[in-house]
Amino acid sequence: MFTRPVIETPSGLRAASVTTTIYSDSGFRTILPKLYTSHVETIFCPEPEQSLYCQLLFGLIQRDEVVMLGSLFASTVLRGLKHLESHWQEMCSDIKAGQISHRITDLGCRNAAASIMKPNPQLADLIESICNCKSWEGIVRKLWPKARYVGCICTGVMRQYTAELEFYCGGLPLVSTSYACSEATCGINLEPLCKPSDVSYTLLPNLAYFEFLPMKNDPAESIEMRSNSEDIEPVDLVHVKLGHRYELLVTTCAGLYRYKVGDVLMVTDFHNNAPQFQFVERKNVAISVDQEKTSEADLFKAVTEAKALLNPLGFILTEYTSYADTSSTPGHYVLFWELKEKEGNDCKEVDPKVMIECCSRMEESLQYTYKVYRKKNIIAALEIRVVEQGSFEALMDYYVSKGASLSQYKRPSCITSKEALKILDSRVIGKFFSPKSPV
Ligand code: AMP
């Protein structure tokens, strides 16, 4: 759980991220010590890295009481696990000595640590023996043996993290409990134990007034062929139809009127008469170099097809993003991929032939317009740039330094900022191109 400082708008209004508002609430502060191992001082620590270190450390110290771990989004949970992977030795020596590392300078965090830490060499040795192994597969279960599930949103743009999370969690269910945005809490998942790919959310009509702009229904159609939403009348929650896609509009007590959240949802089922929705994608285009438009869902599908080639080789695609490179003509799609070996960390490289095949597989899976343009050489060969481990963590750090909340961070589907591009480009360890046009 992380917060950002409250800011003041030019007209004098106080503005905060939704999570900061929740964690500031007196009701939350009352239940916090009863339900969570994280202390309020660590949640309000202005240094995200120090906050993360302390929350992980406190979770380890109280490992026998932990029945659930998580964060709002899957990306933050993974960030936490990676932080643990690189700092467990330091944490073990803190636990052994009963004192927090001098690196943690935030006074609130130090005071919170002083209130719960005492020397515990047995616990330190036990954690050391668990962490000091070749593969971290299933580590969450070993470190927190009483944990029953990992709670974090694994749908939408977070789907890409499920494979790696499953690797660390060793069979613990990943539970996406709710669908919410800064503008409104929208729905809950009534089947928390279902697979992340099957999750649907039931929208609760008492949380906001929900309306739905119908989208053209055929997912095979490219975005530019879908209707212009300005000409379409929204429908109410009671009038949505099974299998149809809609853009969500919310009207709230706070004063938003038919606000376009920017999400596309599909009706998958009904709970009694309440429609249930699967999150499809963020509306609008993820990447485009010419007239073709590739959505987030199109991109995800293509990446899923391609990364299937890596699984038998013992590699996991941990993160990806895209970039429309139009610096030369014709422009082309660039995919940044961060890979990880399931066993060990010796960073063996994937056979270049397989990476080239991944480029082809992606192109084959992209939508019709892309393929036509590619055949006509209006778009050049798709490129995958493999980046070194930790590159996406550096990207996250960059966005957090620019004001994003670590609790609400979402990796962009397509990079548009020059600085963000520089961060990834400076960490490229291999470039691969599709050898031929897709059929
Ligand atoms: P924020 O801007 O931090 O308020 O994030 C809200 C956005 O996060 C939503 O509009 C969605 O795009 C995404 N989001 C929130 N909850 C979910 C969920 N359960 N599944 C998929 N995406 C989600």
**pLDDT tens digits for 342-369?**
876 555 788 999 999 999 999 999 988 8
Residue 62 CA to residue 280 CA, distance in Å, equals 38
Does residue 386's CB lie within 6 angstroms of at least one atom of ligand 1? no
Pair of tokens at residue 304: 């899923």
> pLDDT-derived band of residue 311, with 50, 70 and 90 as boundaries?
confident
Residue 205 CA to residue 248 CA, distance in Å, equals 13
In angstroms, what is the span from residue 436 Cα to ligand 1's centroid?
A: 37
For residue 415, pLDDT over 70 is answered with yes
Which of 75, 179, 198 should be mutated for ligand 1, with most atoms under 8 A from CB?
179
> pLDDT-derived band of residue 157, with 50, 70 and 90 as boundaries?
confident
pLDDT, residue 218, reads 44
What average pLDDT does this structure show over 158-174?
Answer: 91
In angstroms, what is the span from residue 6 Cα to ligand 1's centroid?
A: 21
Pair of tokens at residue 139: 């580590």
Which of 278, 280, 410 should be mutated for ligand 1, with most atoms under 8 A from CB?
410
DSSP class of 230 = G
* Tens digits of residue pLDDT in 169-191: 999 999 999 999 988 999 999 99
Residue 55 CA to residue 28 CA, distance in Å, equals 17
Using the structure block, give the residue that is written with the tokens 């906001």. Answer: 208
Using the structure block, give the residue that is written with the tokens 């302390």. Answer: 54
163 Cα distance to chain centroid: 12
Q: Which residues contact 407 (CB under 8 A, 6 or more apart)?
A: 1, 2, 3, 17, 19, 71, 72, 73, 76
Residue 146 CA to residue 139 CA, distance in Å, equals 13
Pair of tokens at residue 397: 């750090």
pLDDT, residue 224, reads 44
DSSP class of 414 = B
In angstroms, what is the span from residue 351 Cα to ligand 1's centroid?
A: 36
In angstroms, what is the span from residue 180 Cα to ligand 1's centroid?
A: 6
Query: What mean pLDDT value characterizes the chain?
Result: 91
pLDDT, residue 219, reads 52
Are the C-beta atoms of 320 and 386 separated by less than 8 Å?
Answer: no
pLDDT above 70 covers a percentage of the chain that reads 96
For residue 229, pLDDT over 80 is answered with no
> pLDDT-derived band of residue 380, with 50, 70 and 90 as boundaries?
very high
Given phi > 0 = left and psi -120 to 50 = alpha, else beta, which region is 255?
left
What average pLDDT does this structure show over 1-11?
Answer: 89
DSSP class of 263 = E
Does residue 196's CB lie within 6 angstroms of at least one atom of ligand 1? no
Are the C-beta atoms of 291 and 137 separated by less than 8 Å?
Answer: no
> pLDDT-derived band of residue 223, with 50, 70 and 90 as boundaries?
very low
Residue 147 CA to residue 283 CA, distance in Å, equals 36
Does residue 78's CB lie within 6 angstroms of at least one atom of ligand 1? no
In angstroms, what is the span from residue 234 Cα to ligand 1's centroid?
A: 21
Residue 390 CA to residue 397 CA, distance in Å, equals 10
Residue 194 CA to residue 143 CA, distance in Å, equals 24
Does residue 180's CB lie within 6 angstroms of at least one atom of ligand 1? yes
In angstroms, what is the span from residue 273 Cα to ligand 1's centroid?
A: 24
186 Cα distance to chain centroid: 19
> Phi and psi for 281 in degrees, rounded to 5?
-175, 170
Question: Residue 116: enclosing H or E segment and its boundaries?
Answer: helix 107-116
Residue nearest to atom 21 of ligand 1 (CA): 156
Residue nearest to atom 16 of ligand 1 (CA): 179
C-alpha torsion 239→241→244→248, nearest 10? 30
For residue 116, pLDDT over 70 is answered with yes
Does residue 179's CB lie within 6 angstroms of at least one atom of ligand 1? yes
Q: What angle do CA 221, 225, 226 make, to 5 degrees?
A: 85
For residue 139, pLDDT over 70 is answered with yes
Does residue 155's CB lie within 6 angstroms of at least one atom of ligand 1? yes
Q: Are strands 174-175 and 149-153 parallel, antiparallel or unpaired?
A: parallel
Flag whether the pTM goes above 0.85: no
Does residue 23's CB lie within 6 angstroms of at least one atom of ligand 1? no
Given phi > 0 = left and psi -120 to 50 = alpha, else beta, which region is 409?
beta
For residue 291, pLDDT over 80 is answered with no
Residue nearest to atom 20 of ligand 1 (CA): 155
Are the C-beta atoms of 356 and 433 separated by less than 8 Å?
Answer: yes
For residue 220, pLDDT over 60 is answered with no
pLDDT, residue 107, reads 97
What average pLDDT does this structure show over 127-153?
Answer: 96
pLDDT above 90 covers a percentage of the chain that reads 74
Tell which atom from ligand 1 comes closest to the C-alpha of 176.
19
Does residue 282's CB lie within 6 angstroms of at least one atom of ligand 1? yes
Residue nearest to atom 18 of ligand 1 (CA): 179
Exposure on the CB side of residue 360, measured as CA atoms within 13 A:
12
